[in-house]
Structure 1
Amino acid sequence: MSELIEIERKFLVVSDAFKSEAFRRTRIVQAFLNSDKRRVVRVRISGEEGFLTIKGEPSEDGVSRFEWEKQISISDALALLKLCEEGVIDKIRYEVNAGDHVFEVDEFFGTNEGLIVAEIELSHVSEVFLKPKWLGKEVTGQAKYFNSQLLKNPYKNWS
């Protein structure tokens, strides 16, 4: 397996203006076979597709980490979901063009309802990108915003 490094920055979202700018909207349900921050193993159903993803420990600044993902059948994803740690992440992902990039904006439901986070994948750490007006405070590297951690300490419990 070749090493793949994901470079990603994460932001809070300050308005729902992104919804009218989105070119795609997908329902996502996911859970974790392992939610240890050093090696997260995620099972995801995204629309009509299943995925198994392994993520390594984030870099010190939280911008990059190892990521390996493989598409699996929906039936395999459903079977693996039954083996996962307690709880599921339920969200709608909106994809929004911003200059040469695409923001993935996740609107969470269930115990994380009210949380909206935008992520952008970059080709290098210092890459410049357009910041839409609805983009708020950067939360890159803040573990409490990792999906795996949102199951352990949901947004509804934050003060």
Structure 2
Amino acid sequence: MVEIETKSGPIDLVKHRLMSGGWSIHDVVETIRQGLIGGGKGEVNGQPVEVTALRANSLVENYIDGHAIAEHHLTARAIIAALYVGYAPMQEAKKKSPGEAEPEAIDWGVVLHNCRTLGLSLSDAEAITMPEYAALLHHHNLANEEGEESPPSADDVSAMFLRMERAGIGKIH
């Protein structure tokens, strides 16, 4: 977090810019670099790789620097959201009972995109209840014409929250 703040300013402002717009190259690149270092692992061409600070620099140079930065914005948003609300795939695995089916992974980038599509800020998204979120999605889907990109259905969201609840992650009201 200190490295991000050194290059991009206070972390809360970086979060605000990534979520609301007006982000800079440093916001995106440093968030991804520090996310790789903090996570200690990444993926290159579908293969998992161990990530050190040196490897993170190499990955950023090869896959982000000199490429269209907007395509990496959602990755940076997902990383900063995980910093604020957590990301606990290891806790999911520990809580799973023997013989229990593994819950589907939740794509936080999609969740954040849906919240943004609905006009929700990160703090609004954290505070909303499951029924409120499902109702917003339902009415958004009803209001949009066929063929336009829209968030998942209320049933999809309910199923996602059920998976989250079973996995012991997320803020379920």
TM-score (norm 2): 0.28
Larger strand percent: 1
Q: Rg larger in 1 or in 2?
A: 2
Kindly indicate whether structure 1 or structure 2 has the higher relative contact order, using CA contacts under 8 Å at least 6 residues apart.
Answer: 1
Q: Which has the higher helix share?
A: 2
